């Protein structure tokens, strides 16, 4: 091989590009596409948070912060986790402010994985879990989640999936792409399995604020597994702050100090201006968050009813901002459905297969889009499905 690719390590070279890529290329060719594809809030960051960021710039807070993050922000995170979820972390040595929650996932995995180590990844789920396991030299092991079980982890299936090679398990609720959330009692059953096994637990709770109709229970509230639980969360979804790249990772001090080394060498610190904005977000923005959650909830019900009225089977999601309808009744694969819908009616939804093989037969549509867009998208989907039925 004479290309510079020869330097790329095998595990990266053999990684396929994301299956979503081709849809993005298609969007660029088409005009007037309504996207229910992007997994981020359509809301702009609440003004008081933006204003705090502007003020931080005016004040000249343009330097690095402490590696672990501004102390005041770490204290606010500790207070917030206690206030919201009764989860307790020491801001001095159990919290690292990260460049988005995704850095937290990567930090935990890169701190633990050695060749041959397996990580149990429930799927369908966020595309980065498997990606991060692979880039860190581990082996992802899929734990398929079933619609019959409302896309929740079955304790028995989890127990069977754990082998002596399993180093960690990822708990991804509220879930992207299904919108599934596990209740407190259901998590207790999972914890009972995990208590018996010697492995690290990474709980990605980035959508914790976005639940509808019930109280979210954080995995960080189970004392029996606290010393080997890594809690990942951030500001992107709750406070509509995706572009600020601000998240945090929490855990037992004896574990966090090692993740800290990777963070300080790879990233130094999260963006300082974003951290100042984050303080305002946690301190003063509960009302803005609950307004956004209320709006998401209305759109959730509207979109869910809409796709059900189109004759698609769809379980009721209780978290995040996605619905995950079952499209097998159309006779199309996920990919055929999404490509057809995009080409013929210019509506983008994402094939379930982008989130793992077990996503075949489903598509992900987000309701992080205006009510007008959702209404128009439903009308276009109806035309698409009617036409397909006629053929």
Partner 1 sequence: MREILEILEKNSKATTGEITAMTGYSEAEVADAIAEFEKNGTIRGYKAVINWDKTDRDFVTALIEVKLTPQRDKGFDRMAARIYKYPQVRACYLMSGSYDLTVIVEGAGLKEVAMFVSEKLSVIDGVLSTATHFVLKKYKDGNILLEGKEDDDREAIVL
By CB under 8 A, name the binding residues for partner 1. Answer: 18, 20-21, 24, 27, 35, 37-40, 42, 44, 126-128, 176, 294, 298-299, 301-302, 305-306, 370-371, 375
Contact 299, 334 (CB under 8 A): no
Q: Which is nearer to partner 1, 112 or 363 (CB)?
A: 363
Residue 118 phi, psi (nearest 5): -105, 145
Instruction: Supply the minimum distance, in Å, between the C-beta of residue 39 and partner 1.
Output: 5
Q: Which is nearer to partner 1, 27 or 150 (CB)?
A: 27
Contact 159, 135 (CB under 8 A): no
Q: Which is nearer to partner 1, 89 or 367 (CB)?
A: 367
Q: Which is nearer to partner 1, 30 or 268 (CB)?
A: 30
Cα–Cα distance, 339 to 192 (Å, whole number):
43
**Residue 99: C-alpha distances to residues 49, 170, 177, 261, 266 (Å):** 17, 19, 22, 15, 11
Q: Which is nearer to partner 1, 159 or 286 (CB)?
A: 286
Instruction: Supply the minimum distance, in Å, between the C-beta of residue 18 and partner 1.
Output: 4
Instruction: Supply the minimum distance, in Å, between the C-beta of residue 9 and partner 1.
Output: 21
Burial classification of residue 185, based on how many CB atoms lie within 10 Å of its CB (0-12 exposed, 13-18 middle, 19 or more buried)? exposed
Instruction: Supply the minimum distance, in Å, between the C-beta of residue 213 and partner 1.
Output: 10
Q: Which is nearer to partner 1, 167 or 300 (CB)?
A: 300
Contact 231, 203 (CB under 8 A): yes
Instruction: Supply the minimum distance, in Å, between the C-beta of residue 31 and partner 1.
Output: 15
Q: Which is nearer to partner 1, 12 or 371 (CB)?
A: 371
Instruction: Supply the minimum distance, in Å, between the C-beta of residue 300 and partner 1.
Output: 9
Instruction: Supply the minimum distance, in Å, between the C-beta of residue 277 and partner 1.
Output: 17
């Amino acid at each position: 091989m004479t290309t510079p690719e020869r330097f790329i390590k095998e595990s990266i070279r053999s990684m396929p590009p994301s299956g979503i890529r081709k849809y993005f290329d298609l969007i660029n060719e088409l005009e007037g596409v309504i996207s229910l594809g992007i997994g981020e809030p359509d809301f702009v960051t609440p003004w008081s948070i933006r204003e705090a960021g502007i003020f931080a710039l005016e004040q000249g807070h343009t330097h690095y912060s402490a590696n672990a993050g501004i102390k005041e922000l770490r204290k606010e995170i500790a207070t917030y986790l206690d206030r919201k979820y009764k989860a307790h972390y020491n801001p001095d040595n159990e919290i690292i402010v990260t460049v988005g929650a995704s850095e937290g996932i990567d930090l935990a995995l890169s701190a633990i994985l050695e060749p041959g180590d397996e990580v149990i990844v429930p799927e369908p789920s966020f595309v980065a879990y498997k990606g991060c396991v692979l880039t860190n030299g581990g082996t992802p092991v899929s734990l398929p989640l079933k619609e019959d079980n409302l896309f929740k982890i079955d304790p028995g299936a989890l127990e069977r999936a754990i082998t002596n090679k399993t180093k960690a398990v990822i708990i991804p609720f509220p879930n992207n792409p299904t919108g599934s959330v596990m209740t407190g009692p259901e998590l207790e059953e999972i914890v009972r399995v995990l208590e018996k096994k010697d492995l690290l637990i990474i709980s990605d709770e980035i959508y914790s604020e976005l639940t509808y109709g019930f109280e979210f229970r954080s995995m960080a509230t189970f004392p029996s597994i606290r010393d080997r639980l890594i809690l990942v969360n951030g500001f992107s979804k709750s406070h509509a702050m995706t572009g600020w790249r601000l998240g945090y990772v929490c855990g037992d001090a004896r574990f966090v100090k090692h993740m800290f080394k990777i963070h300080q060498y790879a990233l130094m610190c999260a963006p300082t201006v974003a951290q100042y904005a984050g303080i305002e977000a946690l301190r003063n923005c509960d009302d803005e968050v609950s307004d956004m959650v209320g709006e998401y909830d209305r759109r959730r019900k509207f979109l869910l009813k809409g796709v059900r009225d189109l004759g698609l089977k769809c379980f009721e999601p209780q978290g995040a901002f996605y619905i995950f309808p079952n499209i097998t009744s159309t006779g199309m694969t996920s990919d055929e459905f999404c490509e057809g819908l995009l080409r013929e009616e210019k509506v983008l939804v994402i094939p379930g297969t982008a989130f793992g093989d077990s996503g075949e037969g489903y598509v992900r549509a987000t309701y992080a889009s205006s009510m007008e867009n959702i209404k128009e998208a439903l009308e276009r989907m109806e035309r698409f499905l009617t036409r397909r039925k006629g053929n």
